[in-house]
Structures are given as structure tokens and as C-alpha cells.
Structure 1
Amino acid sequence: MTTSLPLRTSTLIIGGGPSGLVALKYAKEYGPAWERGEAPVLVEMEPELGGTFRWRGYENAELVSSKQLTCFSDYRYPLSAPDHPSLPNFVEYLKSYSKVFGLDEHIYLNTRVVRLDKVGPEGYPHRAVLRRTGRQDDSEDVVVTARRVIITTGLHVTPNIPDIPGLNAPPLPPNPVEWIHSSAYHSRSQLQGKKVLILGSGETGMDLGYEGVLAPAKKVWMGVRSGFLSFPKVLNNFRVFGTTYDGALPIDGLITNLFETAYVHPWVASSHLRWFVSDFVIRRVLWLLTGTMAGCNQWAGELPPERQGRAFVFLNKSGKAMQFINRPFAHMSALHRAFFHYIDPPLPRGIDDPTIDIVPFPERFDPNDGSAVLPPPPAHRSKETAWKSKCDPDLVVLATGYRQDFDWIGEGYPRPEKANLRGVCDTSDLSVAFLGFLRPGVGAIPPMAEMQAQFFFLVTQGKIAPPTSPENYHLLHSEQSRIQYGVDYSAYMSQLARDMGSAPGLLELWWKHGWFITLIYCFGAAFPTFYRLSGPYQSPRAPRIVETELWDTIKRRGVAGNLFMGVIPMAFYAFINILALWVDVVWTLAAPILGIRRPPKSSYASKLLNRAEEDVTARRKESLPRLRLKIPGKLSGIIS
């Protein structure tokens, strides 16, 4: 890492987590202004790289998204590595990424942004006041001006701490109950021998529940608001007709591309039909395999039925605590278990009471004895009766997430929730980007940040026009939801690829790379490497990665897995999309004849007809072989 800050830069990147590092790589390789000698600059307030993975991790924490989906498009984990590496291992991967691509010379650690202001429309409109920390030779702030700014400070920095009377808000008893936020949790020793109440049922809350049982804590409760949707990060441990299936398949790589992400008619996309159909099917398959539709082997803490699905919530992939939560509630019949059931791991030795009691989120804490005052559970979880017993913790752990503070950003800047160009930047100022501020329902943020960086550098340099097509990738949050930044991973990645011209057409893939890579693209998930097979960021490394690592994710599913998770869904969605296209074409052709207003220019069929007219014109100017090479590229821009 370098020491002396430059006073001027082409691109200032704020934050040294995965989003910042991948932004720096693309700024170095594809960013503008190198002829001016203004190298990009990344500043990180901590003494090491890694962001949340380095500074807000804890003992035994692992990635909940698979390595195949989490790592970047052209720098991969080896096949022999675990599917879900530990957080320290992932931090080492990020450091290695920085060294391999020569990023270290552009990185300034122990450097905090005190203030970011706009100083005018001239060539360097951004003025950042930077403060070096942990150094005795830098007592004064440094001012750096930049042509563009990329903010990658992330979703998990400032703890979100709700005010709970009797715990951390008035009225407080003389000896209030001890509490910490999950960001201050580091090891099981903090829970050992205590009665622990964990407030929050996200992936961190689930991890801490499991760690509490194994510490062992004297007692573990988990406070849940509306509910959660549990699914293990690895699909295994099912017993079907006497055979145990232990395929160890990461669930985030099971969704296929063809007709689910790629080649989807706009009517089908805007209706979210794919989400609702898959939810309907998956819930019934879960009932068949585990006896409950609330989640995968989830018997308590469920969401209201109308919100159980990928369209509404973030999938909770920390499933290790579920066997301890299920104990009072699981009730599969002997007949059902004879055909299908989920196999829990063996209970840990030396644990007196491995049960985690689900309780409602407390209203307050009693000032006399410090016990939690709990409301009745929500109506859809009325079977949960543990709340009737006394909940008197020694320690409360607030696994209540994080919030974003931007008090260091001056006037005139947008905020990530207001960035109207794919959640990356705003049409009012294309020199500012926010990377890593959208969260996938199931998937990973780092590859999304990579695609966002690609998108930003094309838009900010005027290489593509700001897209105006509607977006259909946001999860269906209610207006009351605290978190509004959820997206469907596959839909979002595919949308960015189409915007950039990186979404390959099938004919184009077959022509350039052959049938094998085309097959893998159809059956694979929305891996970022797929979008470097063609387009402005085409990489020579991509074909080899697809043929080896990404093929392995498909091969591991087996024949039955690819039939039920690939061929059958593709056939169904192909029928739906072809039907929508047929109706669209008939409507487009019939409207002028019947005197009905012509469909809007954004109509899918209108685009097809307009492109057909362009091809007729092109035939007069180009030879047939040249035309045949152009067709796949045009189709890839239309049918996706």
C-alpha cells in the first residue's frame, strides 16, 4: 500500500471491501484519464482491506453464498476449496485479488473521508477532505479533488440499535440487563454459561443462536418480529424412498438461465410470474420433503403465508440453528417419514438443553427483575407458546442489522436509495456511483458490485446511453419495510448485462464458443463470468472458467437434478414466453388494421419488427456472410 496521497485523481473510490476493490480494478483497466497521469485512488479507513468480512466477522463465520457465485468473474477460488469459505479465508482471497491485479499501489489505508463536497462543474467537481489515522507524521487533513467518485462503504457499517425501554432506553432500572450489538460479538466465550436472548432472526441471529447452543449458554431465546424464511445454503440431507441424498449442492447456483433470466418476454418479467410460479412449486416440494411449507424444514418463526417466497424476502441461509428451533414444533407423521424426510445433524454432545425458544420481539424489559415483557406472537404463529414462560436473560444480543449514515456527504449528492440508474448512479450526476448498496434475496453482493462497476464506467464515459427501460428486479417490499434495497439476483444481473450489451445470444455463443459453453450458459445460474463471454468486457479467461468450474456446478446436480431444476422449468417458461410473444406479435400486427392505437415503441413485438426492417436495409449494404454474423448480436439485444 502507498503512503503519500495525490492531490488530484481521475477516480476516488471510498471503501476497501470487495466492492471497492473490484471498482478499483475496473477503474485501472477500463477507466478514463490515464493519459493525464491521474491514477485512481482507493481510501480505506481501517488498517487492512476486507470491509465487513474483515471487521464485522466472528468466530466460525462462513460465507452464506457459494464461492462459485461470490468470487469475481476472472479471479476464482480453486475447485478444491470449500464451497463456503470462512470469512478470514475470503479476506485473504480479496488481498490476493489486489496483488494479482496490481491494485496495492493505488490503495491508501488508515484514511478516512471527513467530508465530500461538490465544488463546481469544472473538470474536478468533487472535493474530498481526507484524514490519515494511525500515523504520527500526518497531523493535517489532505484535500483531494476528483473527476468522479465511487462510494463503496457498504450496507453493514453503522449498527442499527432499536430503542427498547428497560434495556437501552428510559426508563432504565438500577441494574439494566447487559446488552451488545452483534457487531461486538466475536466468540462463543461471550455466551458461555449465560441466559442469552438474541433479538433478530436474520443470518447473523441464526448463527449466534447456533453458537449459543454450542458455547454452551445456559439458555437461548430468539426474539422474532414478523418471521423469516429459512433455507440451508447447501441442499443435502434429504431421505427419499429410503435413499439419502447428500449432494452438497449450494442453492444459489441452482436457478437456470434459459427462459428464467435470459430470453424473458417483458410482459412475463413485469408480472413476476416466474417468481410466483417457482414459489408455488417450491413450497409444495418442501412440504413433500420436509413436512412444512414455511421454509426448508422450518416449523416455527414463519412469515405470514402471503410473504413466504423469493419475491418478498431475503432467504435466510444460515440453517444450522433450525434443528434447535424446531424441537417443540416438528410433527411429521410416521407414514410421511417413511417416504420423505429431512435428516438433522447429530445433536452436539454435552448439551443439556439444545432447544432455542422462539419468542416475540419484546416490548420492554421489566425494571424489577430485568425479564423481557413479550407481546403475544403474531396470529400466523399462534402455535408458538414459549413466550408464556419467563424470559429473563443475562445478556441480550441485538442482531438487528445495520443502517447507512452519509453525514459526511455534502449537499447536491444523491443517496443510494435515490440512484435511479439501476441503483448505481443518478441521471442528475453521472460522475458519482454507489456500488454494493443493493442486496440480493439469494445470491451475493460482490459479483453484483462487479457488474455495477462495469455499468458505471460505460455510462460515465458516454459509451452507453443511460438506460430508460423499466426494471423488474426489485423484491416486492411493503412500504413499511425497513429494508427497501432487496433485488432478485438473477434478474438484476441479467438486466445490467442487457444494458451493457454483455448478455450473449444463444446463436452468438454457439458461433463464438461452441455448443458446450452454450449448454452451460443455458443450465447455469447468473454467474458474472457468463457476461464476459462477449460484449465490452469480453475476457479471454472466461471460456476456460465456464468449461471447468461452472460446468462442475451443473454436473454435480446429476441427471435427476438437471431434469427437475433445469429441463422441466425451461420447458414450462419457454411455453409461457412463446405464448406472450405470440400475443404480442398478433396485437402489434392487428392494431393498425383494427384502428386501435399502435402499441408503444417499447413493445417486444415492435422491437422485433423494427429490427427486421433494419436487417432488410442492412442486406443492401453488406454481404450475406457479414449479415449472418450480425444477426446473433442483434437478437441478443432484443430477446433477453
Structure 2
Amino acid sequence: MSVSSPTQLPERASTLVIGGGPAGLVSLKYTVEYGERWAEGEEPVLVEMESEIGGTFRWRGYENAELVSSKQLTCFSDFRYPLSAPDHPSLPNFVSYLHSYTSHFGITPYIHTSTKLISLSKVPSPSDEYKHLARLQRLDPDKKPIGEPISILAKRVIITTGLHVIPNIPIIPGLNSNPIPPNAPEWIHSSSYTSRSQLRDKEVLILGAGETGMDLAYESIMSTSKKVWLGVRTGFLSFPKVLNNFKVLGMTFDGNLPIDGLITNLFEDVYVHRWIAQSHLRWFISDFVIRRVMWVLTGTKAGCNQWCGELPPERQGRAYVFLNKSAKAIRFINQPYYKLSWLHKQLAHYIDPPLPDDIKDRKIDIVPFPKGFNEDGTAMFGEPPKHREKETAWKRGDCKPDLVVLCTGYRQDWSWLGKGYPRGPEECEIRGVASEKDLSVGFVGFVRPGVGAIPPIAEMQTQLFLLLSQNRIPIPKSPETYHLLHSPTSRIRYGVDHSTYMSTLAKDIGSSPGLFELWWEYGWFVLFVYCFGAAFPTFYRLTGPYRSPKAQGIVETELWETIRRRGVLGNIFMGVIPMTFYALINITAFIIEKTWSLAAPLFGLPPPPDNIMEYTSNRQLKVKSM
């Protein structure tokens, strides 16, 4: 399926959207539906270099790949998957959903595929708002230029080129850096992987333990590969994308619940005291509790039934990392390390799904990231980090792969941006979306949630950007409490907590509903679903500037279904207990603040700070300087 491009591009575009993935499509949809009316010949334009829309889901997919985020959290607020669809659709199925989305909202005429952006620059235009000059090139099916470049002037630009652009390829001596010995193994980046046939009858070394790396390690096992190694740098945090397969006190829990829909709103994102938000206290507490629950259920705190490859203890949790929800390979990694006692197994344990007899005893050897390859093509390793010293497969010296697959991620290139543009979302101080220096340029879809999905975040980012560029809301100034914590040397710094970021954007936009407001307009049922539900984008269409008549029906059916499926006990343990606990924490912070406010003038104290983290940091500096 492909979107047919109009034969002619306009000379002007009220909005130019760059990129035809989910972020680009939702940006175009909102621009058409909520942007200013445009004159004839100045309609919005979306340009996509490939011959078909879909972005990463279409062009970076591979055999057997599925969404790791649930359909409930991944699809857009007002165009949903049917209840009968699987919770985690295949990538081709999601691409079909995107095509249906463009048709349903009538935005296909504005999409120009096989059209490459060459450059974007600003032109002096003191009296004309159309100041962004885009140079475009039409491409044939082989991506060769057709005709001369085309120029378009745009009033507004939304950049949605995505996180997965240019393969990040580390230089590894003896593999891909000169001189390359004659016995060097073959190598590919994961962007070139398409099917199990590439792994067949080979000894495979997968480098990188993200979700793609885990997927390909599993695919290697399921193919007729001879041997499989997984190279891991620091570690990973494994959780299944679906919560099931636990046996507790002899009873099997098979709830089949997507884990990204289990975090509740009330007191987790709604009515959170600013001191609690700024200190990330609720993240640290939930991590503390979850690690111990995982120990009870699976015998290990490193991850859900994860017995090796763990992160250092101080970095295990939602505050620091992206959860790896591709857990199918874990049972093959665990085999040499699984040490659950008989007594603990009577209490609780995780049930690995059954596998065919011919592969059930196969294993994936976990090794450090190689320093290089020697003359005969054998991988050379340093010792793993101290917290993983139990891993010994690297000592055998038998890692001589036929194929090395680099699952090492991607990077972005901003060389096509002219002078005066932010060099990516890192230079956009307004929620990573726009800069105060020029509100006519937006970056959408460039954050990655630790648990959650990028498409609904892109929808909310688009809503924010349109309001900012139309001067309909003030520039938000509240502290950014949604970033995942990272070290100064981290390569990836665009991680966010999904629910916190969504809630922050909703407050900026004016679409975060108050509890009394929900009850007054929609009644108790919608209020209950909102409190117990996760940060689904449809919740933020109940009120505010993008209010949708479809929202109530979606909340009362599909989103209610995500809560009903947890059962009574599930809602007590995943809803009532956390809400009660976080309510006490927030109420305590509120009482402390009010008491401080009343006592400050009586005892000559400074007023309570707006930012408790800055206040604490300043106090520490004063103490150190004394």
C-alpha cells in the first residue's frame, strides 16, 4: 500500500511537515484540522523521502517484529484499534493503521512521498511570515533525482524525521576498521536485518541489549543458527510487555495485562505536589517496591525473571533506563544462572512459555562488548563490570562468529538545517519541542519514554506546538520533572517518563482535567476510569482546546476495558494501594509547605521554596563553604 503523491507541490505552504512517520502524520492531521485557514495554493505539505508513509515502522521493520508498547497506549487519541485486535500488533499491521488514519481524516492529498528535503534555510522577510525556504528533490523508485530541485516557502515548519535516522556504527578493531584481517567476520547493522534467513546456519554475535538486540537474539535461536552470543555493555532491565505467567502459592496468574497501562493517574501524575515531582521521590519509591515484588515473584531483583546482564543496583529502575520489553530471549540467557530454590518456587515463580523440543535446551551466551577481533576472527573481551562478574562465557575464547549484528541504535544529522535553527530538540528549551527564539519551528517525536510509546507523545507535542506558534497560550515555565536521569557521559539523553511528560504537556496545553470538572461534566464513571487509567492521550481530549466528542465514548469502553481486565485484586494492588500511599506522601508535603508558610514570618525564616531541589542544592553549597 502506498500514498499517491500529487503531481505538483505548491510554491508556498502554511505548514511544512518533514517526515512521514506517525509523528509527521499526526502533525499534519492537527495542522489541517486546527491550524489557521490557508489561501488557495498555500495548503499544508508533508514531504517523505521514501515511497510510502510509515517511518521506522515501515522501513526499519523485520520479520516477526511486533509493537512492544500496547495498542491502547500507542494509537492516537481519536482513532483507535478495535477491542478485538491483539494488544501488540505486528509492524505491518500498525503501518496499515497509519494508512487508515490518513484516509479517515482526509489528509492524503497533502502528503508528498518520494520527495527528499535537501536543505532548510531562513530568508530575510521583514513583512512576510513565509520565511522558511525548503529545497526539495523528487525521487524515482530507485531514489534517483527526477528533474530540478523545487523550492517552497513555508510559514511554519514541523520537523518529524525521528530518532532512527542514521545507523550508529561503533568502530571495532578487526571488524570494521582498517586494517581488516582476512578472517574478520561478516557484519551488518540491525537496520539491514530483515529475516531469519540472514542468521541461518551461522554463529551469530549480537552486539547491543536493547529491544532490537533481544529480538534478534531470539530470532537467532529460533532459526537454525549454530551458536548465539549477546554482547552487553553496562546492562539492561528486562520486563515482559505483558504481565502474566506467574504462579503464586500454587495458583497461576495469566492476566495478559500490558505493563505500560498499569501506572495509574491519581497522585502519580494528577495532584502531585511540586516538591514530590521535583525530587522524583515517587519514582524511587516505586522502584524500591517493584524490585522487591519481582524478587518475591521471580527470585531476582535485577529485572522480571532476569538472572544476569543486570544494571548496577543504583541504576535499576524507571528513573534511569528504558525498560526492555522484548523478553522472549531471556529464558535462553538465564539458563546458566537460574538459581531459584525449591522452597521459593513453592511460594512463587515465573513460568517460561513452552517451546519445541529441538530448541528448548539452546542458550544465548552473554558476553561483554568486545574490544576487537584478533587475526583469526575471535572476539577479544575485557572483563564485564564488577556487578556482572558471575558471567564467564567470555573467558572460553570460543567466540568466533560468522556474523556480527550491530544493534547499536541510531543518531541524527542536522547538517541540512541552515543558520538560525536549533540543532535538534536538545536546543529547544520549551519541552524539547520549540525555542522561544522562533516559535514557527517545532521538533516532534524526538523523545523516547522509558515505558510507553512515542506516537501519543508526538500527538501531544503537536498540540503544544500549534498553540505556541499561534500565540494562544503562554510559554510554559514550570520545572521539567519528566526527564529520565542519566550520567554526564550518556549517549542517549532524550529519555522521559511517559506519564509524567504527557501530564506536563497536558497542563501546558490546558487539557489536564480537574477531578471536580470531570465529575461535573461526565459523571463518576469517567472520573473513575481517569483516576485508575494510565496516561492515555484520549483523557486529554475530554477538556481543553482540543476537546473531542469521541473522547467520552472511548474512555467508557476501551479505556475502561484496560482497568476491568486487571480484576478486583489487580486494581487493589496496582491502583488503590499505590494511590493511597502516594496520597499520604503528597498530603504530607502539602502540610509541611503550609506549616512552613505560617511559621516563616513568626520565626524570621525564608518562605518555602518553589523548587525544593534548587533550595536543597543551595543549602548544601552554603554548608560546604562554611
The SS at the match of 1:281 is helix
1:560 aligns with 2:569: yes
Which residue in the other structure is 1:610 paired with?
none
Deviation at 1:578, TM superposition (A): 0.7
Match of 2:120 among 92, 96, 116: 116
Deviation at 1:2, TM superposition (A): 1.7
Alignment of 1:27-42 (within 5 A): 27-35=31-39, 38-42=42-46
Change (3 A) 1:189 1:601: closer
Change (3 A) 1:427 1:370: same
The SS at the match of 1:141 is strand
Which residue in the other structure is 1:388 paired with?
395
Q: Deviation string for 1:127-148 (max 9, x for gaps)?
A: 0000000179941000001011
Q: 2:76 & 2:441 partners in 1: Cα distance?
A: 23
Structure 1 window deviating more from structure 2 (410-419 vs 208-217): it is 410-419
1:276 aligns with 2:284: yes
Q: 1:534 & 1:430 partners in 2: Cα distance?
A: 25
Deviation at 1:350, TM superposition (A): 2.3
Q: 2:56 & 2:600 partners in 1: Cα distance?
A: 55
Which residue in the other structure is 1:25 paired with?
29
Which residue in the other structure is 2:506 paired with?
497
Structure 1 window deviating more from structure 2 (408-417 vs 585-594): it is 585-594
Q: Deviation string for 1:327-351 (max 9, x for gaps)?
A: 0000000000011000001133323
Deviation at 1:36, TM superposition (A): 6.3
1:117 alignment partner AA:
S
Which residue in the other structure is 1:474 paired with?
483
Q: 2:36 & 2:346 partners in 1: Cα distance?
A: 64
The SS at the match of 1:258 is coil
Which residue in the other structure is 1:157 paired with?
165
Match of 1:372 among 379, 385, 388: 379
Q: 2:14 & 2:595 partners in 1: Cα distance?
A: 51
Q: Is the 8 A contact 1:2 1:104 kept in 2?
A: no
1:580 aligns with 2:589: yes
Q: Deviation string for 1:369-388 (max 9, x for gaps)?
A: 10100111111000001111
1:132 aligns with 2:149: no
Which residue in the other structure is 1:301 paired with?
309
Match of 2:186 among 167, 172, 178: 178
1:238 aligns with 2:234: no
Change (3 A) 1:216 1:571: same
Which residue in the other structure is 2:10 paired with?
6
Q: Is the 8 A contact 1:24 1:103 kept in 2?
A: yes
Which residue in the other structure is 1:539 paired with?
548
1:458 aligns with 2:467: yes
Deviation at 1:602, TM superposition (A): 7.9
Change (3 A) 1:601 1:288: closer
Alignment of 1:53-132 (within 5 A): 53-121=57-125, 122-132=128-138
Task: Give 5+ residue unaligned stretches, structure 2.
Answer: 613-626
1:253 aligns with 2:269: no
Match of 2:341 among 306, 318, 333: 333
TM-score, normalised via structure 1 length: 0.92
Task: Give 5+ residue unaligned stretches, structure 1.
Answer: 604-640
Consecutive aligned runs of 4 or more in structure 1 exceeding 4 Å deviation: 599-603
Change (3 A) 1:165 1:557: same
Q: Is the 8 A contact 2:13 2:42 kept in 1?
A: yes
Q: Is the 8 A contact 1:416 1:423 kept in 2?
A: yes
The SS at the match of 2:252 is strand
Q: Is the 8 A contact 2:138 2:145 kept in 1?
A: no
Q: Is the 8 A contact 1:219 1:353 kept in 2?
A: no
Deviation at 1:352, TM superposition (A): 7.9
Aligned length: 602
Deviation at 1:601, TM superposition (A): 7.0
1:282 alignment partner AA:
I
1:125 alignment partner AA:
K
The SS at the match of 2:147 is coil
1:255 alignment partner AA:
I
Which residue in the other structure is 1:313 paired with?
321
Q: Deviation string for 1:473-531 (max 9, x for gaps)?
A: 00001111110000000000000000111000000000010000000000000000000
Q: Is the 8 A contact 2:10 2:41 kept in 1?
A: no
Q: 2:360 & 2:374 partners in 1: Cα distance?
A: 28
Q: 1:578 & 1:306 partners in 2: Cα distance?
A: 28
Q: 1:448 & 1:21 partners in 2: Cα distance?
A: 13
Deviation at 1:125, TM superposition (A): 1.3
Deviation at 1:599, TM superposition (A): 4.3
Q: 1:194 & 1:353 partners in 2: Cα distance?
A: 18
Q: Deviation string for 1:203-246 (max 9, x for gaps)?
A: 00000000000002100000000000000000000000111111
1:361 aligns with 2:369: yes
Deviation at 1:584, TM superposition (A): 1.1
Aligned residues with identical type, % of pairs: 67
Deviation at 1:600, TM superposition (A): 5.7
Alignment of 1:339-354 (within 5 A): 339-351=347-359, 354=362
Q: 1:261 & 1:85 partners in 2: Cα distance?
A: 28
The SS at the match of 2:224 is coil
Q: 2:539 & 2:40 partners in 1: Cα distance?
A: 33
Q: Is the 8 A contact 2:184 2:377 kept in 1?
A: yes
Q: Is the 8 A contact 1:70 1:445 kept in 2?
A: yes
